[in-house]
C-alpha cells in the first residue's frame, strides 16, 4: 500500500474459529481409498498476511509434534490454534510416491502409527518437501481459556536471519538494536506483565532448505518449512514453552511479492511462538510489535465500516495490530484499552467500566481521560451498549508520550478513500475475544468529493450506535472530557395479534411476533377496553362479550430491558355457535297414555334446553322433558323439538326422528239389552265399562243373523217371535283399536195384543140384529166374533160382527166373544157384557 510515503502490512492470524470452551470439533476429509498415519500433537495455525494495493490474509496449519517438528496439513475446516490434535493424515501424492520408492507405502485403507517406520517416514517427507497432508477423521480439543490474570514473567527471543533468501541489510549490532527496541515495546505496554524481553545469544545466520526466491516471498507462504529449519539451530529450546520466541528475519525484498510477516497465534501474554519478519528499519519496529501481538493471542485491528473492498482489515491505525506504516520511522501506538483488557493488563485506576447497575434504567456520567499513551491516570473506558451487549472502548489519542512517533495525527495520509487518522477520541468495539474494530465518523463535506471516514471523534462529536448509548466529546486538552449516557433498552415489540375465531365459546390466543428474543409476556384480555381479569396467553370468550370489541394488551419484559406494552387491534365478538352431539331421541313406549322422555344429547355446557312435543308436526303445547301421550295420539307421528339457548350464542333447534304412536286398547264391557224382549217391544243396547269418549255402532241380530238394524234401540218385529235376540256393539275412538262386544242372547217372547172389551149395540128382541163393537186392538190384529147365550155358543166364530136374534134365545141373555189373532202375538179373547134377556 502506498502511503505518502509507503505502508507495509505485517500480520499472522490463527484460531479465529476455535470454540471458546474445550468442546471437541470433528474434522473430516474424503480419503477412504488411501492410507493414513495416526498423529497426535498440537495445532499450529498461522496467518499469512499480504499487503500492497490489495491487503488480504490466508490461514495455514501444521500439527506440532512432541519434538517440536511442524507437519504442514490442510483441512476443510478451521482448526483451533493450540488445540490438542488426535487424528489421521492422508498419505498421498508426492509423499505416497516417496514411500513407495522406499517400499514403505502402507496398503490402501490402512492406518499406521506416527512412530512406525512408514509413519515417521511419511511425516519426514511432508516436512522436508513442504507437502501439506490432508486431515481426515480428526478430533481437536480447543485449548482452555487461560483467563486474564497476568503473572509477571521473562520472555526470550531467539533470533536468526536467513542468508540464502534475500539479504538482511545491516550488521548484527544494528539489527540487534532494532530487535531490542521492538522487544522493549511489549515490556513497556505490558506494565510489568513481561518483566524482561531479551535476546538469547547472537543472531544466527542459516541457509534454509526451502528453495524460494525473493519473488516467491522467500518462503513466507510456507512458514512451517522455514521454522522447521530454524528449530534445528536451537535443539535444547522448546518453543512450546511460555516466553520462548523464535524470530526469523528475511530480506526486505522478500516482502515485495506480497506477504511481509507470519506468526503463530498464542493464547495469553505468557505465550511464545515463532514468527517471520521482513527486515526494513522503517517498518521493523511496528511489524515486530504486530507479529508478537499475534504470539500473545491478539488478532487484527480493523475498520467497522469498510472504506473499500481492500480498505477494511488492518485499517485501525490507532493500534499496533493494524497496518505497519513505512516511509519514515513510525513507532507503534500504545496498546488500546480493549486489547489491554483482553491480556489482563488493566486496573480500575486505568480503565473504568461503565454499565447500568442491576435495576438501574439510565445513567449519565462524565469522565476526564488522560491520553491513552500516558503512564498514569484514567486512560480508558469500557462501555457496554445495553441494547446489543457490544462492548466499546473509549480512548483519548493525543500523539503524545508513547504515541509521539505514531502514524496517526502525523502529516502523512493514506489518501482517499482510506480514512484520515487525526488525534481525538477513538472508539473501538470488541469482536469475539481477539479482534477489534474502529468506529469511524464521517468527515466534513467538500463539494465535488466523497466525504472520507475519520478515525477519531472531535469536540462536539457524539458516538451513538443505539438509542441506549451515547458518548459525547465535551472538550479535548491535557485531559479529554467525555460524557457517557446509558439507557435501558426497550424490548423490541410489535402489536400482538389474536389468533382463533373471535366468537363466544371459542378459545383465542395472543400472538407475539416481532418481539425481542427471550421476552417474557404478561397478558390483559379486555372487552370494550375493560379488563376481564384474564391474564393467560389464551382466553375463553364468555357470552357476555357478544357484540363487544375484544383486545389483548401484552406487556413484554426482559432482564436488562425496559418493558413495552402493546395493544392488539380490536376484534368484534360474534355470537357463539351452540353444539349438540346428536339429534334428540325419544325414550319409552310410544303408546297413548304412556309417558315418554326426551334424550337431548350432549349440548354446549351451560345451554338451557326447551322442549316442544309435536303430533303430526303440530305442537301439543307440552314443554316438559317428559310427555304423556294423549289418547288421541294413536297412529300419529310423534316428534320433539329441542331448542338450546345460552347468553351470547345463536340459538339452535334440533328435532328428533319421528316415532309413530301405537293405537290404544279400548276398555270395554259386554252390552246388555234393556227392555222386554218380546214382539212389538222396543229394546235398547246398554253399554257400560267402556273408555270414555268411545263411539258405538250396533248390529241387532236374530238367531245370529243381522237384522240390519244399527241403532241403539230395536223394535222387536213379529218375525222375531221365538228367536234369539242379540246385539253386537262396536266401540271406536280415535287412536284406539275398535272393539266389538256381543250381548247375551234373549229369546223373543210373543207380543201382547192390545185388546178392548167388546160392546153390543142393538135391541135384545127376537128378530132383531145385534152388532158387536170390538174396540181398538193392536193394529193388524185379525178379529173373529162368536155369540153366546149364557155359556152356550150359538154361532160359530166368524168375522161377522152382527147377530140376528133367533126365537130360541127368547128370555136368554146374550154375549159376544171377540178373539184377536196376530202373528207373533198371543191370541186374546175378550167377552162383552151380557145383554138383557131377549124379549119377544
CB-based contact 16:299 (threshold 8 Å): yes
pLDDT tens for 657-706 read 999 998 888 899 999 999 999 999 999 999 999 988 899 999 999 999 99
Check if the beta carbon of residue 534 is closer than 8 Å to that of residue 508: no
Q: Would the pTM of this model clear 0.75, i.e. be above it?
A: no
720-747 pLDDT per residue, tens: 999 999 999 999 988 888 999 999 999 9
Give dist(CA 77, CA 87) in Å, integer.
Answer: 14
**How confident is the model at residue 432, as a pLDDT?**
66
Q: Report CA-CA distances (Å) from 539 to 32, 167, 443, 525, 790.
A: 60, 82, 56, 7, 127
* Helix (H) or strand (E) run with residue 101 in it: helix 93-101
Q: Give CA–CA dist 574/542, Å, rounded.
A: 11
Separation CA 102–CA 125 (nearest Å): 12
Percent of the chain with pLDDT over 70: 93
Helices then strands, counting H and E runs in the chain, come out as 6, 64
In this model, does residue 429 exceed pLDDT 70? yes
Residue 132 near residue 57 (C-beta atoms within 8 A): no
- Mark 787-823 as b/e (b = at least 16 C-beta within 10 Å): bbbeeeebeeeeeebebebeeebeebebbbbbbbebe
DSSP 445: -
- Tens of pLDDT, residue by residue over 337-383, are 999 999 999 999 999 999 988 878 899 999 999 999 999 999 999 99
pLDDT at 146: 52
Q: What pLDDT, on a 0 to 100 scale, did the predictor assign at position 449?
A: 66
Strand partners, 62: 44, 72
Give SS3 for 179.
helix
| Choice among 207-221, 419-433, 664-678 with the minimum mean pLDDT | 207-221
Q: What is the pLDDT of residue 10?
A: 30
User: Residue 735's CB: how many other CB atoms inside 10 A?
Assistant: 21
C-alpha distances out from residue 657 to 151, 582, 631, 654, Å: 95, 11, 21, 10
pLDDT at residue 222, as a whole number? 83
Residue-wise pLDDT tens digits, 465-478: 998 999 999 999 99
Please state the rounded mean pLDDT for residues 243-249.
Answer: 96
Q: Report yes or no: 334 and 408 within 8 Å, Cβ to Cβ.
A: no
Predicted confidence (pLDDT) per residue in 267-276, tens digit: 899 999 999 9
56 pLDDT band (50/70/90 cuts)?
confident
Question: Could you give the CA distance from residue 84 to residue 67 in angstroms, rounded to a whole number?
Answer: 15
Report the b/e string of 63-87 with b at 16+ CB within 10 A.
bbbeebbbbbbebeebbbbbbbbbb
What mean pLDDT value characterizes the chain? 89
- pLDDT tens sequence across 18-28: 233 333 434 33
Per-residue model confidence (pLDDT) at position 332: 95
Mean pLDDT, rounded, for 98-114: 94
User: Peptide bond before 417: cis, by omega within 30 degrees of 0?
Assistant: yes
pLDDT band with cut points at 50, 70 and 90 for residue 16? very low
- Tell me the average pLDDT across 129-145: 87
The region of weakest confidence among 114-123, 292-301, 513-522, 792-801 is 792-801
Q: Are 114 and 120 in contact (CB under 8 A)?
A: yes
Q: In this predicted structure, what is the pLDDT of residue 448? A: 62
pLDDT of residue 450: 76
33 or 748, which is more confident: 748
- How confident is the model at residue 29, as a pLDDT? 39
Confidence of residue 389 (pLDDT cuts 50, 70, 90): confident
Beta-bridged to residue 206, according to DSSP, are 162
pLDDT at 30 over 50: no
601, 517, 504, 607: which is closest to 547 by C-alpha? Answer: 504
Q: Does residue 17 have a pLDDT over 50?
A: no
Cβ distance 275 to 292 under 8 Å? yes
Rounded Cα gap, residues 313 and 304, in angstroms: 9
Q: Give every CB contact of residue 687 below 8 A, 6+ residues apart in sequence.
A: 669, 671, 694, 696, 729, 731
Q: DSSP letter at 545?
A: G
Whether residue 165 has pLDDT greater than 80 = no
Residue 100 region, left (φ>0) first, then alpha (ψ -120 to 50), else beta?
alpha
Quickly state the pLDDT bin for 489 (edges 50, 70, 90). Answer: confident
At 349 the pLDDT is 96
What's the pLDDT tens digit per position in 585-628? Answer: 999 999 888 999 999 999 998 999 999 999 999 999 999 999 99
Average pLDDT over residues 565-574: 96
Of 567, 533, 535, 564, the closest CA to residue 552 belongs to 567
Amino acid at each position: 500500500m502506498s502511503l505518502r510515503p509507503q505502508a507495509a502490512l505485517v500480520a499472522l492470524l490463527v484460531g479465529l474459529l476455535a470454540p471458546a470452551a474445550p468442546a471437541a470439533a470433528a474434522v473430516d476429509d474424503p480419503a477412504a481409498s488411501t492410507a493414513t498415519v495416526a498423529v497426535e500433537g498440537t495445532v499450529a495455525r498461522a496467518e499469512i498476511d499480504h499487503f500492497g494495493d490489495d491487503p488480504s490474509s490466508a490461514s495455514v496449519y501444521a500439527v506440532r509434534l512432541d519434538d517440536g517438528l511442524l507437519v504442514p496439513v490442510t483441512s476443510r475446516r478451521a482448526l483451533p490454534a493450540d488445540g490438542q490434535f488426535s487424528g489421521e493424515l492422508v498419505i498421498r501424492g508426492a509423499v505416497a510416491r516417496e514411500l513407495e520408492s522406499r517400499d514403505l507405502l502402507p496398503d490402501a485403507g490402512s492406518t499406521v502409527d506416527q512412530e512406525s517406520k512408514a509413519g515417521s517416514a511419511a511425516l519426514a517427507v511432508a516436512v522436508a518437501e513442504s507437502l501439506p497432508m490432508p486431515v481426515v477423521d480428526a478430533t481437536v480439543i480447543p485449548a482452555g481459556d487461560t483467563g486474564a490474570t497476568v503473572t509477571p514473567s521473562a520472555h526470550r527471543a531467539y533470533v536468526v536471519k536467513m542468508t540464502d533468501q534475500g539479504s538482511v541489510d545491516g550488521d548484527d549490532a544494528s539489527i540487534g538494536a532494532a530487535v531490542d527496541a521492538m522487544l522493549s515495546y511489549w515490556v513497556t505496554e505490558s506494565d510489568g506483565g513481561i518483566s524482561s524481553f531479551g535476546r538469547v545469544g547472537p543472531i544466527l545466520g542459516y541457509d534454509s532448505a526451502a528453495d524460494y526466491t525473493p519473488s516467491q516471498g522467500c518462503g513466507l507462504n510456507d512458514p512451517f518449512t522455514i521454522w522447521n529449519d530454524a528449530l534445528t539451530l536451537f535443539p535444547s529450546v522448546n518453543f512450546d514453552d511460555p516466553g520462548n520466541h523464535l524470530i526469523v528475519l528475511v530480506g526486505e525484498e522478500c516482502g515485495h511479492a506480497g506477504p511481509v510477516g507470519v506468526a503463530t497465534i498464542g493464547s495469553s501474554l505468557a505465550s511464545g511462538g515463532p514468527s517471520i519478519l521482513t527486515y526494513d528499519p522503517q517498518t521493523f519496529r511496528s511489524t515486530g510489535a504486530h507479529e508478537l501481538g499475534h504470539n500473545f493471542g491478539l488478532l487484527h485491528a480493523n475498520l467497522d465500516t469498510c472504506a473499500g473492498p481492500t480498505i477494511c482489515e488492518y485499517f485501525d491505525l490507532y493500534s499496533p495490530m493494524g497496518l505497519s506504516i513505512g516511509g519514515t520511522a513510525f513507532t507503534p501506538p500504545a496498546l488500546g484499552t480493549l486489547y489491554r483488557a483482553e491480556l489482563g493488563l488493566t486496573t480500575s485506576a486505568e480503565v473504568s467500566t461503565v454499565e447500568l447497575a442491576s435495576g438501574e434504567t439510565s445513567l449519565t456520567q462524565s469522565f476526564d481521560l488522560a491520553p491513552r499513551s500516558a503512564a498514569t491516570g484514567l486512560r480508558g473506558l469500557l462501555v457496554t451498549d445495553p441494547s446489543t451487549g457490544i462492548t466499546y472502548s473509549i480512548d483519548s489519542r493525543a500523539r503524545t508520550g508513547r504515541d509521539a512517533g505514531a502514524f496517526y495525527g502525523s502529516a502523512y495520509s493514506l489518501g482517499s478513500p482510506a480514512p484520515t487518522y487525526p488525534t481525538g477520541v477513538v472508539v473501538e468495539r470488541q469482536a469475539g475475544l481477539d479482534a477489534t474494530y474502529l468506529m469511524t465518523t464521517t468527515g466534513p463535506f467538500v463539494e465535488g468529493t466523497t466525504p472520507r471516514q475519520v478515525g477519531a471523534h472531535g469536540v462536539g462529536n457524539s458516538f451513538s450506535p443505539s438509542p441506549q448509548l451515547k458518548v459525547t466529546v465535551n472538550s479535548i486538552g491535557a485531559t479529554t472530557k467525555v460524557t457517557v449516557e446509558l439507557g435501558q433498552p426497550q424490548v423490541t415489540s410489535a402489536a400482538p395479534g389474536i389468533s382463533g375465531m373471535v366468537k363466544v365459546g371459542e378459545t383465542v390466543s395472543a400472538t407475539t411476533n416481532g418481539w425481542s428474543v427471550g421476552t417474557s409476556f404478561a397478558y390483559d384480555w379486555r372487552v370494550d377496553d375493560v379488563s376481564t381479569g384474564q391474564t393467560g396467553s389464551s382466553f375463553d370468550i364468555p357470552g357476555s362479550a357478544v357484540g363487544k370489541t375484544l383486545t389483548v394488551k401484552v406487556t413484554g419484559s426482559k432482564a436488562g430491558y425496559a418493558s413495552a406494552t402493546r395493544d392488539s387491534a380490536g376484534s368484534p365478538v360474534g355470537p357463539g355457535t351452540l353444539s349438540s352431539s346428536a339429534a334428540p331421541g325419544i325414550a319409552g313406549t310410544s303408546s297413548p297414555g304412556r309417558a315418554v322422555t326426551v334424550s337431548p344429547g350432549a349440548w354446549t355446557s351451560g345451554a338451557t334446553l326447551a322442549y316442544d312435543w309435536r303430533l303430526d308436526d303440530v305442537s301439543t303445547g307440552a314443554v316438559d322433558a317428559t310427555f304423556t301421550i294423549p289418547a288421541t295420539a294413536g297412529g300419529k307421528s310423534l316428534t320433539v323439538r329441542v331448542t338450546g339457548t345460552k347468553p351470547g350464542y345463536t340459538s339452535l333447534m334440533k328435532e328428533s326422528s319421528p316415532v309413530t304412536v301405537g293405537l290404544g286398547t279400548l276398555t270395554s264391557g259386554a252390552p246388555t239389552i234393556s227392555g222386554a224382549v218380546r214382539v212389538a217391544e222396543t229394546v235398547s243396547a246398554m253399554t257400560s265399562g267402556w273408555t270414555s269418549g268411545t263411539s258405538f255402532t250396533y248390529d241387532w241380530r236374530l238367531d245370529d243373523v243381522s237384522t240390519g238394524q244399527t241403532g241403539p234401540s230395536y223394535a222387536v218385529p213379529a218375525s222375531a217371535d221365538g228367536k234369539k235376540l242379540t246385539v253386537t256393539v262396536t266401540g271406536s275412538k280415535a287412536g284406539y283399536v275398535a272393539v266389538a262386544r256381543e250381548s247375551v242372547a234373549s229369546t223373543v217372547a210373543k207380543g201382547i195384543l192390545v185388546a178392548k172389551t167388546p160392546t153390543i149395540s142393538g135391541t135384545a128382541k127376537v128378530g132383531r140384529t145385534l152388532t158387536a163393537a170390538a174396540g181398538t186392538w193392536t193394529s193388524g190384529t185379525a178379529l173373529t166374533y162368536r155369540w153366546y147365550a149364557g155359556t152356550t155358543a150359538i154361532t160359530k166364530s166368524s168375522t161377522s160382527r152382527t147377530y140376528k136374534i133367533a126365537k130360541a134365545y127368547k128370555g136368554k141373555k146374550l154375549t159376544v166373544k171377540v178373539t184377536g189373532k196376530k202373528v207373533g202375538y198371543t191370541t186374546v179373547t175378550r167377552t162383552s157384557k151380557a145383554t138383557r134377556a131377549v124379549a119377544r
